[in-house]
Amino acid sequence: MRRPSAVLAGVLLAGCCALPASAADGDRGFTIKDPRITESSGLAASHLHPGVYWTHNDSDDGPYLYAVDSATGKTVATVTLRGIGSPRDVEAVSIGPGNQIYVGDIGDNLGGKWPYVWIYRLPEPKVLEDQAVTAVQYVVKYADGARDAESLVVHPKTGRVYIIDKNQDGGHLYQGPAHLSASGANVFEPVAPVDLWATDAAFSPDGRQLAVRGYFGGVYYGFDGGRIKREGRLDVPLQGQGESLTYSADGTRLMYGSEGADSSVQAEDAPGRSSGPASPGSGGSAAGGGGAGTSGGVGLGAVVAVGAVVLLWMRRRRRS
């Protein structure tokens, strides 16, 4: 995907202030250690394997999914998608009913020029080992013309697929047919505006919340059959290039991922839920894409405060 100039500022800020997540924390945050994964652009909590997260690279990688153990940050299985064409720009992964994995080949680095994009569906493997799995390929078109997108979500109860396009001035939630067809094009219709430059999204396990993230902020909505109502702001951690988002399997945490080698996945409490203290280095930020909302989160001020404490400690250590 194209890297806007604003992301460079995020890289500098995150590099100066953010603390690395610990792989040992599991759902409290981890670091992806596979040297093959340098552009993690999507994230989905496994339904069959506790503590495992599925991810993939952006473009120029191939038809691969990686299962990462959050306890160690290591890849425990590589799945090759069989029976599909050559992926163009894979940007999202989501798991729907029946433990079906949906992969969104929906990016468009030409700014919305592709006449169609693709979705791939495959069953989540019951055994974590390197293997090839046959996938179904769906052709996707938008009712109002081609566009770039990085967010694909599958409703956990109905199995309906939704896409949010990526637009700096805010995009739209697009609703797919009730059932995707492998023959012919599946037309996605805009059903609601989304006031964010969206890089990923996720449904809560109960399907009642839709969380959407951008590079420096996020919002969450109440969801009711395709209708959404904004409920508040997400506490998005500072990351170099925040590209992925998923709920933990139990729905208590939101897991935020970023592109780059040895990229960290940071955890925050999901809205209205709490599972203990936040992961190391995570802090709320609404810069460039959140807007007003709930007041939760310590934000950038806490990161600055931590930096001040570290500096004070270093000075005292020198004196001693």
- Residue 83 backbone class (left: φ over 0; alpha: ψ -120 to 50; beta: rest): left
Mean pLDDT (the chain) is: 82
Q: Determine the pLDDT at residue 274.
A: 53
CA distance to 18, 193, 300, per residue, from 211 (Å): 22, 14, 21
Q: Determine the pLDDT at residue 2.
A: 44
Burial class (CB in 10 A: 0-12, 13-18, 19+), 33: middle
pTM: 0.80
Tell me which of 27-31, 103-107, 273-277, 297-301 is least confident: 297-301
Longest dimension (CA), the chain: 73
Q: What is the mean pLDDT of residues 30-43?
A: 96
Res. 283: pLDDT tops 60: no
Res. 142: pLDDT tops 90: yes
- Residue 110 backbone class (left: φ over 0; alpha: ψ -120 to 50; beta: rest): alpha
Task: Write the CB contacts of 306 (distance below 8 Å, at least 6 apart in sequence).
Answer: 19
Q: Which two tokens stand for residue 188?
A: 């996605």
Q: Which two tokens stand for residue 148?
A: 């770039």
Tell me which of 47-51, 119-123, 124-128, 295-299 is least confident: 295-299
Q: Give the ranges where the chain is alpha helix by DSSP (H).
A: 5-17, 299-319
Element (H, E) at 94: strand 92-96
248-276 pLDDT, tens digit per residue, is 999 999 999 999 999 999 999 999 875 44
d(CA 198, CA 239): 15
Res. 278: pLDDT tops 70: no
Q: Which among 190, 183, 287 has a CA at the least distance from the CA of 235? A: 287
Q: Are 14 and 238 in contact (CB under 8 A)?
A: yes
Phi then psi dihedrals of residue 114, to 5 deg: -70, 130
d(CA 222, CA 297): 19
